[in-house]
Amino acid sequence: MAKKRLIFTLLYDNGSFMLSRNFRLQKIGDLKWLETNYGFSEVGYSIDELIVLDVSRTPRDRQAFCETLKALTFDCFAPIAAGGGVNSVKEAHDLLRSGADKVVVNTALHTNPDLISKLATEFGRQCIVASLDCKYSDNTYQLVTNNGSETIDLELPQFLAEISSLPVGEIYLNSVDRDGTGNGYDFKLLDCLPKSIEVPVILAGGVGNSKHLAEGLSDHRVDAVATANLLNFMGNGLALARAELINTNFDLPVFIEY
C-alpha cells in the first residue's frame, strides 16, 4: 500500500508567493525569498509532494509561471503537481514539460468536462488532480470556482456522487472557510465523499501546526494531508513536523540519507 503523504502547496500570483486566508491573498515573497526561507532542494526531502498553483488574480502569465516552476523544481527530486486556470491540453502539456508530474484542474471540471477526458486520453487519469474549493453555506457545501469568485450550481455531495464518471486520479478537497485560518481541517468535508470512492483524497485548508496534520492523517478517508501555510513552516518547520509525525508512528515514508 502507498504510505500517506504530506504535501506542501505553494500559491503563486504574478511572480510572488502568497499566503491565502479565505482566498484573500497576501504577498509574502518572490522566488528568492522562497529559496532563502525554504530552499526546495532541501525541503524536498521533508515532504512527499509539492503542489504549485498559479492563483493569479490578474490575467495569468503562463510562460512566467512555467519558468518559475522550472526554477523551483530544478534540484527538487520530489513529486510535483501544478495547476491554476488550466483550460487546454497545451497548458497542461507545458506544465508537464516544466517539472510537473501531475496537473491540477479546478474550474474546468465544471466548465469544460470535455477537457478532462482529453487530458486523461493524453496523459492518463493518474495525471489529473481534481481540485475542489468548498464553502459551507445554507447547511451544505457549495463549490466555488475561478479562485473562489463564482459559486456553481451543484453542491459538493452531488458533485462527488458523480465524480467516478470523470477520469481524474485524485481529489484535492479544500475548505475555503478554513483556508489560512490555522484552525485545523474541516473533517465534515469528508462526510460528503461517497463510500465507494476509488481515487485517493487529499485534504487541505486550515492547517496551523503539525497537530492538525496528525489529525488529518488519523482519518482513514484521507490519503494525503496538505498545507499551504507559507509562514508556519519556514526554515526547518516542515522537517520538524515530518519527524514528529514519524515519531508518533504515522505511516509516512522515511527518506534515507546517502
Active site residues: 133
114 touching another protein, by CB under 8 A: no
224 touching another protein, by CB under 8 A: yes
> Out of 27, 70, 188, 211, which residue is the one contacting another protein (CB under 8 A)?
70
83 touching another protein, by CB under 8 A: no
256 touching another protein, by CB under 8 A: yes
Contact 148, 134 (CB under 8 A): no
> Which of helix, strand or coil describes residue 65?
helix
Residues from 115 through 154 that contact another protein (CB under 8 A)? 121-127
- Which residues are paired to 8 by β-bridges? 50, 227
Q: Least distance to another protein from the beta carbon of 99, Å? A: 5
Whichever of 74 and 162 has its CB closer to another protein, that residue is 74
Check residue 15 and give left, alpha or beta (phi > 0: left; psi -120 to 50: alpha).
left
Q: Is 74 exposed, middle or buried (0-12, 13-18, 19+ CB in 10 A)?
A: exposed
CB atoms within 10 A of CB 98: 21
Label the pairing between strands 16-21 and 24-29: antiparallel
Check residue 73 and give left, alpha or beta (phi > 0: left; psi -120 to 50: alpha).
alpha
Q: Least distance to another protein from the beta carbon of 158, Å? A: 22
Which stretch in 19-27, 177-185, 196-204, 237-245 sits in contact with another protein by CB under 8 A?
196-204
Contact 22, 181 (CB under 8 A): yes
92 touching another protein, by CB under 8 A: no
Which stretch in 22-30, 75-83, 149-157, 228-236 sits in contact with another protein by CB under 8 A?
75-83
Label the pairing between strands 224-227 and 201-204: parallel
Q: Can you give the binding site for another protein, defined by CB under 8 A?
A: 1-5, 44-45, 48-49, 70, 73-75, 77-80, 96-102, 121-127, 169-170, 198-200, 223-224, 253-258
